[in-house]
Amino acid sequence: MPTGVPIEIKRLSKQFGPVTAVERLTFTVQPGRVTGFLGPNGAGKTTTLRMLLGLVRPTSGSATFAGVPYASLADPLRSVGASLETAFHPGRTARNHLAVTAAAAGIPKTRVDEVLEATGIHAFADRRVGGFSLGMRQRLGLSYTMLGDPGVLVLDEPINGLDPEGIKWIRGFLRQLAAEGRTVLVSSHLLSEVQQSVDDVVIISKGRLVRTGTLASLELDVAPQTIVDSPDRAALSAAMDAAGLSHTAGRNGLIVDEPDPAAVGHAAFVAGVELAALYRLRSGLEESFLALVGEHPEVPAGMPSVQAADADRPEAGAAAEGGDADEPGAPAGEPAPGADEPDGPGAAADSDDTPEGGER
């Protein structure tokens, strides 16, 4: 059984010209746990992972596996499984992709069928990848990461593109890997994607670390607030000021730093201000996450007029779209100067234009 080792990020920084993509990050990912690496698009997640995998040279600091840089690992594919912007040639089959990699790394051919079975795409192993849905490609990427049976897995947005059944499957898959003692690091820009599978979180924003700790600790950070709106927002703002209630403007009204909607409603009543909406914005994991990365948690437009004081926060609408544009002004996948790009996590560009969709 492979044994995981800690991933150690120490004072890691990266600049692309005048742009600082990552600034003095320090955190440790422990074996036997699933760690979520979270932050909004452009926070610096992909740049950090590229530095960890030797694809980008840090400006300063280090990113290692128990003190050993990726480029210095004796057997990278058997030590670290990485899925980072993985792409596949559309004309080759899933089995062929994995067989070529296994042969180059000296991995027995029987391992190809084992990982295809483990990731649920064995039945499609001889189908050309150009006909795969996005979810099936994600599973093929996971097959690639498991080919060497590594003790450490680094996965960039692995849930993106999976259907509900696939999401449920991958959550169990990640938990199983951690239970075996492996180190599992999973990046995502959506907390909701990973909150049912991670033990710990590392949250960054604008290239800087804003929180590390257990998932449960996030719920303690943000006090409940109240959303209030009126046809006359200027008068409503003046009413909040008169009552000594601090507030900020949001898309759907004023976000008031007061957990009791009754107190907010009373302040508006005293000032004679008509209300269009009034409800508590409950504190929870998603709200804590958004607050940490500097985004106000709000509800979609079109809420019913006046909600009860104890109404739950409405569910958010469409999920944000995806990749992590971490490297403004820099070529994607910049290799370390004077060093070859590792064979493991890198992949050639895929020119296939097959529409993305759920799993088949």
All structural domains of the chain: 7-218 (3.40.50.300), 223-282 (3.30.70)
Handedness of CA 86, 92, 97, 103 (dihedral sign): negative
How high is the pLDDT of residue 70? 97
How high is the pLDDT of residue 190? 80
Q: Say how far apart CA 109 and CA 101 lie, in whole Å.
A: 10
Q: Say how far apart CA 318 and CA 339 lie, in whole Å.
A: 42
Answer yes or no: are the C-beta atoms of 55 and 44 closer than 8 Å: no
Length of the chain: 360
Pairing of strands 34-38, 208-214: unpaired
Q: Say how far apart CA 35 and CA 184 lie, in whole Å.
A: 6
Q: Say how far apart CA 264 and CA 230 lie, in whole Å.
A: 12
Q: Say how far apart CA 355 and CA 353 lie, in whole Å.
A: 6
- 198: closest CA among 19, 33, 32, 319? 33
DSSP structure string for 73-98: -SSHHHHEEEESS----TTSBHHHHH
Q: Say how far apart CA 164 and CA 311 lie, in whole Å.
A: 28
Helix axes 164-179 and 134-146, enclosed angle (nearest 10):
10
Sheet order of strands, 60-65 included: 19-29, 7-16, 60-65
- pLDDT tens-digit profile of 181-218? 999 999 998 887 788 889 999 999 999 999 999 887 77
- 228: closest CA among 146, 141, 303, 325? 303
Q: Write out the E strands in the chain.
A: 7-16, 19-29, 34-38, 60-65, 80-83, 152-156, 183-188, 200-205, 208-214, 225-229, 247-250, 253-256, 277-281
Tokens encoding 355: 């529409």
Distance of CA 26 to the CA centre of its chain: 18
How high is the pLDDT of residue 295? 61
Residue with tokens 């719920």: 219
pLDDT tens string for the chain (360 positions)?
688 999 999 999 999 999 999 999 999 999 999 999 999 888 999 999 999 999 999 999 999 999 999 999 999 999 999 988 767 899 999 999 999 999 999 999 999 999 999 999 999 999 999 999 888 998 999 999 999 999 999 999 888 878 888 888 899 999 999 999 999 999 998 887 788 889 999 999 999 999 999 887 776 555 678 999 999 999 999 999 999 999 998 878 898 999 899 999 999 999 999 999 999 876 556 666 776 776 655 444 444 333 333 333 333 333 333 344 444 433 333 444 334 444 444 433 333 333 334 444
